[in-house]
Each structure stands twice: as C-alpha cells, then as structure tokens.
Amino acid sequence: MTASPETPSANQMWGGRFAAGPDAIMQAINASIGFDQRLYAQDIAGSRAHAAMLAATGILTNKDAEAIGKGLLTVLSEIEAGNFPFRVELEDIHMNVEARLKEIIGEPAGRLHTARSRNDQVAVDFRLWVRDQCDAAITGLDALMRAFLAQAEAGADWVMPGFTHLQTAQPVTWGHHMLAYVEMFARDRSRFVDARRRMNECPLGAAALAGTSFPIDRHMTAAALGFDRPTANSLDSVSDRDFALEFLAASSITAMHLSRFAEELVIWSSAQFRFVRLSDRWTTGSSIMPQKKNPDAAELLRAKLGRILGATVALFTIMKGLALTYSKDMQEDKEQVFDAADTLMLGLAAMTGMVADMTANRDTLKTAAASGFSTATDLADWLVRELGLPFREAHHVTGTLVALAEKAGVDLPDLTLAQMRSVHPGIRADVFDVLGVENSVRSRTSYGGTAPDQVRAQIARWRDALA
C-alpha cells in the first residue's frame, strides 16, 4: 500500500523505526477507531486545553496555538456533521484527529503533541467521557426516583401484601413499597456522585509514563477541563482505570435494582396476581393467543441489564494482571464501558416510563393483603402487649390459631372469640381490632415503617431532597 504525501500511512505515523505497515490481521487487532471515535468531543477538548497551555507556558507560539484551536473546532464540526473520514490505518481517534488537523492547518499540527503521549491523552479522554456518563446516570436516576415517588404519593395508604420468600408475610402500603425503590436508587445515585468526585483528577501531562521535561502547567489544563486537580503520580495516571471500574460497579448495582423491579412487574402484571396494569407502550401481544398482553419491556430489561455485570467482570479481568504502567490490553477497556453505559441509560429511561405509566389495582392489592394469614404477627404482638406473654409463647399460640383457621377454611379475623379462647383463655374481643389489614398498617408507626403517616413523612422528605 502506497500512501499519498498528504495521507500518512501507519508506518509513517510510527516514524522511521518501522519499514513496513501492519498486515490486515494485525491492523484489525490493533485499530480501535471503530469504537473509540465516540471519544471525539473529549479528545478535541483535551487537545484544545493542551494547546492553550503550551502557548501560555511559551512552549508553543500564540500563532500556532490559535491555528490549532481553530483547526480543532473545524474537525469537531466535521465529525458532528457526519462528514469526517475516519480511517482505520490511523488506528484511533487521536491520530485521526491529528491527521485531519494537519490537512487543515499544515505544519503547526505537528506541534500539538509536544509534552504529551497517547497514553495520557487516552487517559484524559476516557476519564472525561466516563465523568459525563456519571452525570447522565445521576440525571436518569433523579427522573426514576421521581416516578416512584409519584406512585408512592398516589397510594400512600393503599394496602397490599408484603412478601418474604414470595409468600404473603405482613400487610404493607403501596406507597411504602414504592419508597423502597426510591431508597435503593438514591444509594445508586450517591455511588455515581462519589465515583465522579473521586475520578475528577486530570491525567493530562503525565505523558507516556514519567512526566515531561517541558515546563508545562498541569493545573491549567486540569482547570480548563473541569477537573479539581491534576493527578499526583505519572505512573498511576496512565495505568489507572479505577474510574471506569467504579462506574461499572455503580452501574452493576443499579442494574441489579432495575432488574429486581422488572421481575416484580412481570409477576405483578400476570393474570395470577393482577396487582398492576402496564400500558400498551410497554407491552406486546402474542402471535397466536389474542388475549395475551406480555410485559416484554420488563423482561427484556431483566435480560439486558446482565450485560452491565458482564462488562464489569470483563474489565476487572483485563486489569487484574497488568504490571505498571500502560499495556495494549487496556485498549479493550472502552467497548465494555460504552456498552454498559448505553444499556444503563436505556434501562433507566425504560423503567422510568414503565413506572410512570403503570396503574395499581387497588382492590386486588387489598384483597391479596388480607390473604395468607397476613395479620398473624399483629395477633402475636397483641398477645405480648395485652396479655404479657413472652413473644415465643405468643408465637406458638398464634401458630396454633393459624392452624385452626386453616383447618376451618377461614382467615384469622373470621375465627370466633370462642375458638380463639379454646387456644388461650385470656384472649378478649378487642383482639379483632388488630386483625384487619388497615389496622395492621396503621399500627406500624416506627420510623421507616409502613404506616401511612410514616409513608407521607418520607414522601415529603424525598420531595424536598429532589426539589
């Protein structure tokens, strides 16, 4: 392959050390432009900050820096307009941008890479991109939390069954269940905020691995790119991918929470439960069964979110065996993170839509809440509180009453007082006051409990927090 004078070939990029370009297989292994072109905005921002710093420190003339800055904006506009000719033989986004810059402004383009290496260049590009994804995740989580909060507010006192082992346990309120997910996603949000704060150090200026002999101002470039400070160790700067791992770890936990609610939607929307109705926007029909309304969006999310966990394991596997500093293995970091970020944002957006659109079947929830002897614990608590029984004895008495009701084919509130006294003679008629599901949830007034007043207090707290 013969390159024209205006088009540097791969071996020209490497300079005089290599006499021949790579063959097609090596090129396919080596090139990353197919995916790292997504870093174009960050790459150009980093280069503009670097050029401005080189001029401010006298390493580059103001004339050259101005030409570079304007040329980079031209490259940016070409990429955004879809008119940029990405070339595989130039390997990556960095060399594609620099080669095009040379075509636009000529010789000054070759001065841009002074006091810089592709090692610190990709480190800053990738860090900027991941930082942007943290911001996007935080925004997406805010919207999702508001959707759950609206559901909680609508049903703060609606009674539904609470489950353990997917068996009816105790009555809770719909609002309380919705707020459980607000708490989960709030923790997810805090992880992204925390990860963003920790990653907000600028590796630009670390060069290949040892820093540079040029009198650069790393604090200037850090400030220009919105970082809190420059990184403090050049070796760590070019070899660190903790920021990507932290983003993936936070994304994995978020994905797990999204998947848990997706599973609940699948169960709740079934004909056997009928707790919720999903809108037509998030369901599909069957090709053969006209009665079907399948929760496909929830099912697909439940599956797709596993990709994020896979990406996390993949990047940990890449990084775990690498000695300092940079190794080409690290080129394989980006596709994993890109895919995980795309999947996360899709999951957040889709779940926000499903939560906002779903309709709870209040009557069905209440009927289900009263089934399965859900107020048995209320009965045990009454025996402790009113008759002074040790809890273990109260537990035994209640279990005997449950067995009696089950044998009679009735629920606990349907037992007669005489039947109850046959198990424990001290039971009084006011025991029935605690056996209704409405009474049960109203009694759970401990902080963080399911009582409607507690739920409304938590809703108000979250309204203020998300304002």
Confirm if 309 and 192 have CB atoms less than 8 A apart: no
Token pair, residue 213, equals: 């002999």
CA 315 to chain centre: 16
| Residue among 165, 213, 287, 446 flagged as catalytic | 165
Rounded mean pLDDT of 26-47? 91
Q: Helices 174-199 and 452-466, interaxial angle, to 10°?
A: 30
Residue 412: pLDDT band (50, 70, 90) is confident
Which of these is catalytic: 77, 270, 286, 371?
286
Q: Are 395 and 343 in contact (CB under 8 A)?
A: no
**How many angstroms from the chain centroid is the CA of residue 103?**
41
- Banded pLDDT at 7 (limits 50, 70, 90): very low
**pLDDT reading at 455 higher than 60:** yes
**Which of residues 433 and 236 earns the better pLDDT score?**
236
Phi/psi at 426 (nearest 5 deg)? -80, -10
Contact 195, 187 (CB under 8 A): no
**CA 399 – CA 383 distance, rounded (Å):** 12
What does the block give as tokens for 162?
């609470």
Sign of the Cα torsion 175, 176, 178, 184 reads positive
Q: How confident is the model at residue 16 (pLDDT cuts 50, 70, 90)?
A: low
Lowest mean pLDDT among 66-75, 111-120, 399-408: 399-408
The string of pLDDT tens digits covering residues 365-379 is 999 998 877 778 888
- Give the C-alpha separation, 253 to 263, whole Å: 15
Average per-residue pLDDT in the chain? Answer: 91
- What's the CA gap between 42 and 57, in Å, rounded? 23
Query: Burial of 129 by CB count in 10 Å (0-12 exposed, 13-18 middle, 19+ buried)?
Result: buried
Judge whether 286 counts as a catalytic residue.
yes
What percent of the chain shows pLDDT beyond 90? 76
Cα 173 from chain centre: 27
Give the Cα separation of 72 and 99 in Å (integer).
11
pLDDT value of residue 206: 97
DSSP 8-state symbol, 284: B
Tell me how far apart the alpha carbons of residues 34 and 36 are, in angstroms, rounded to a whole number: 6
What are the structure tokens assigned to 53, written together?
Answer: 């710093």
Beta-carbon contacts of 338 under 8 Å, excluding residues fewer than 6 positions away, are 35, 38
User: How far apart, in whole angstroms, are the C-alpha atoms of residue 207 and residue 42?
Assistant: 17
Q: What pLDDT does 5 receive?
A: 42
Q: What is the pLDDT of residues 327-354, one digit of tens each?
A: 999 999 999 999 999 999 999 999 999 9
Query: pLDDT-based confidence at 6, cuts 50/70/90?
Result: very low
Six token digits for residue 40: 């174009």
Task: Judge whether 165 counts as a catalytic residue.
Answer: yes
Instruction: Report the number of secondary-structure helices (H) and strands (E) in the chain.
Output: 20, 6
The dihedral sign for the CA sequence 268, 272, 277, 278:
positive
CB 436, CB 375: distance < 8 Å:
yes
Q: Do 141 and 348 touch, CB atoms closer than 8 A?
A: yes
